[in-house]
Amino acid sequence: MPLDLGQLTEKGYADNLDALIIAEPTKNQIKISHKGALWPQIITYGKTAHGSMPDSGINAVVHMNEIIHQIVGESFELSYEKDELLGSPTLSVNVMKGGSNTNVVPDQCFTNIDIRTVPSQDHQQIIEQIEQVIENVKWKYSDLKAEVRILNDQSPVKTSGDDPFVRLVQNVVKETNGLTKLGGVTAYTDGSQFIHANKKFPIVVLGPGETSIAHQPNEYVEVDKYLESINLYKEIAKRFLI
C-alpha cells in the first residue's frame, strides 16, 4: 500500500529532507507561507414527524439555522494577529444538507465549514468556540442535540524569508523571470504534513499555474510557465547540492 503524506512524517522518511519545494501553482512566484485549514462539520439531531404536525417533531434544520446564524454573525470573532504575508483568516459555510422530503420534519442536518487560518491561531481554541455557540443555542432550543466532527485539520506553514534556501531560490528565480518578492498562499499545501517531521527544514511553494483559477472548470497551466518551472527546479537543485 502506498504511503500517504502523514505516514511519511510518522515513519521518519521526511527526517532526511534538507529543504522542500512544493510545486503548487504560484505562477512561478516564490511563496514561503500558506494558511492552515480547519473543516468542522456540525451535525444536529431532531425527531421525525409528519410535515402537517411539526409540533410532534424536532426540526434539525431549524436548529442548524440558528447555529449558523450565530457563527456568521458579528458576535463570533476569531482571535488572531494579522499575518504580514497571509493577512487575516477566513470562514465560509460551504455545505448544508438536511431533511428527506417536504412533508417530513427533518431529524438530521449537517453543515461543513471551511476555516482558513493564519500562524497566530490555535485550532483547538476555534473548535471550542464553535462548541460554545452550540451551548448558547441550547438556551433558545432546549431540545437541541448536536455534535462537531473535524473533517480536516491542517496547520499553517511559514518559512523565514532570511533562510539560506529561500535566498538561493530567490537568486535562481530572479535570473529566470526577474521575480524576487516573497509571498503567501491562501490555500494549504502538503507542507502542512511535512512541518510535523522531527527535523525542521525550509519549505517553499513554487510552481506554474495560477491559484485564482484553481477548482475552476477551465483550470489550466500555461506551457511556457510549465517549461520555465522545470528549468527553475533543475537549477535550484544543482546549486543546492553543490
**Cβ atoms < 10 Å from Cβ of 56:** 11
CA distances from 33 to 61, 94, 185, 189 (A): 38, 24, 6, 10
- pLDDT score, position 236: 97
pTM for this predicted structure: 0.91
Q: Torsion over CA of 211, 215, 221 and 225, rounded to 10 degrees?
A: 10
Determine which helix (DSSP H) or strand (DSSP E) holds 170, and give its type and residue range: helix 164-177
Query: 5-35+156-240 maps to which CATH number?
Result: 3.40.630.10
Which of 57-71, 138-152, 200-214 has the lowest average pLDDT?
Answer: 200-214
Domain boundaries defined on the chain: 5-35+156-240, 36-154
* pLDDT over threshold 60, residue 35: yes
- pLDDT score, position 183: 97
Confidence of residue 4 (pLDDT cuts 50, 70, 90): low
Q: Which residues contact 11 (CB under 8 A, 6 or more apart)?
A: 3
What b/e string do you get for 65-80 counting C-beta neighbours within 10 Å, with b at 16 or more? bbbbebbeeeeeeeee
| Cα 107 to Cα 59: distance, rounded to the nearest angstrom | 6
Burial bucket for residue 212 (CB in 10 Å: 0-12, 13-18, 19+) = exposed
* pLDDT over threshold 60, residue 131: yes
Residues 41 and 148 sit within 8 Å (Cβ to Cβ): yes
Domains 5-35+156-240 and 36-154 share a fold: no
Average pLDDT, the chain: 94
Residues 184 and 34 sit within 8 Å (Cβ to Cβ): yes
Separation of CA 23 from chain center = 17
* pLDDT over threshold 50, residue 1: no
Fold category of 36-154 in CATH: Alpha-Beta Plaits (3.30.70)
- Percent of the chain whose pLDDT exceeds 70: 98
* pLDDT over threshold 70, residue 24: yes
pLDDT in tens, 44-87: 999 999 999 999 999 999 999 999 999 999 889 999 999 999 99
Average pLDDT of span 213-236: 92
* pLDDT over threshold 70, residue 31: yes
Residues 71 and 130 sit within 8 Å (Cβ to Cβ): yes
Average pLDDT of span 129-134: 97
* pLDDT over threshold 70, residue 5: no
Cα dihedral sign, 90-91-93-94: positive
pLDDT in tens, 75-124: 899 999 999 999 999 999 999 999 999 999 999 999 999 999 999 999 99
**Cβ atoms < 10 Å from Cβ of 195:** 18
